[in-house]
A = this chain, B = another copy of it.
């Protein structure tokens, strides 16, 4: 079959132990024999067998990521950070795209097959408590991104602050009547963004009636989708409530749907209604969306970093970091005169 260290050992007249040593740069090998082994290995075009290594080392140098896969561009951008960091470290990444919460469990199981991966990254999905226990017992490293559990390392965005900044931006522009198009309240980001919106409004002495708020009933991707935004906006319009002068939308992708729905009704943005959304995915700039920017790439990088630390030191105290989102002003809120949002 393939060339193994036995082949090299034979050719070099040394034991496989020695071959292994030079291949792993471990000390105590004459530079003579080292040379010889390396030359032969190269000549034979030797490639180590990853699984055999993993089995012997009890370490696979691969991570898995469980992620609401291609539905939301937010993840793609975080993944990019994960990918690049991992690659530079010689790690591999196994991707498990899930479309619903049920699938999470299956993959959690799979990832936990001992030795399969050194750790797993869970994105934006609630960690079922039953699994939390089991994972803890098995000591499979797990880090959470954009989700939370007290027993595991996590990396999140400060949704409360983000929603506050977004809301205050709108307020500062003179808006008094502000509505919110939200994702599904089952998701914690949606929950947090809503309460912060409410709180901020009330801090400014404005109470908001329920018909100014539209929560998505969608299960798919927890309502963080274009369709969700579109339908929410349609329904909002159908309610007949007076249109607020501004809208806070819980994600860029939804905002794109909102824009479409608005356009169909001949409602202009930002002339008739201002919009600020959340995420700042690459798409956002194509739609000139004013939005709360999250450092997605950096989050990916940090997730990997945390994971590696956890692997090194399984008993270190659990850490949780919150990134602070920043406001990116484009045209959809009407604050930026530079932009021409709609052409004639």
Measuring CB to CB, which residues of chain A are less than 8 angstroms from any residue of chain B? 1-2, 45, 47-52, 54-55, 60, 62, 69-70, 76-77, 79-80, 83-84, 87, 92-97, 109-110, 112-116, 134, 138, 226, 256, 260, 263-264, 266, 268, 282-283, 286-287, 340, 342-344
Contact = CB atoms under 8 A, between A and B. Distances in A.
Contacts of A286: 226, 256, 260, 287
B80 A266 contact: no
A269 to B, nearest CB: 9
Nearest to A114: B2
Contacts of A283: 283
Contact of A94 (B1, B93, B113, B263): B93
Contacts of A110: 92
A114 to B, nearest CB: 4
A49 B2 contact: no
A343 B270 CA distance: 12
Contact of A116 (B50, B97, B264): B50
B97 A80 contact: yes
28 contacts: A2-B115, A45-B134, A47-B112, A49-B55, A49-B114, A49-B116, A51-B51, A51-B55, A51-B60, A51-B116, A52-B55, A52-B115, A69-B80, A70-B77, A84-B97, A94-B94, A95-B95, A226-B282, A226-B286, A260-B286, A263-B340, A264-B340, A266-B343, A266-B344, A268-B343, A342-B342, A342-B344, A344-B344
Given A69-B80, A268-B343, 10 more contacts: A49-B114, A49-B116, A50-B115, A51-B116, A55-B55, A62-B94, A70-B77, A87-B97, A94-B95, A268-B344
Contacts of A55: 49, 51-52, 55
Nearest to A137: B45
A51 B54 contact: yes
Contacts of A114: 1-2, 47, 49
Nearest to A55: B51
Total copies of this chain within the assembly: 2
A113 B263 contact: no
Contact of A113 (B50, B70, B115, B340): B50
Contacts of A282: 226
A97 B48 CA distance: 22
A96 B90 CA distance: 11
Nearest to A226: B286
Nearest to A93: B95
Given A48-B113, A268-B343, A343-B266, A83 B97 contact: yes
Contacts of A47: 109, 112-114
A283 B73 CA distance: 11
A51 B115 contact: yes
A343 B263 contact: yes
Contacts of A266: 343-344
A343 B268 CA distance: 7
A279 to B, nearest CB: 15
Contacts of A50: 113, 115-116
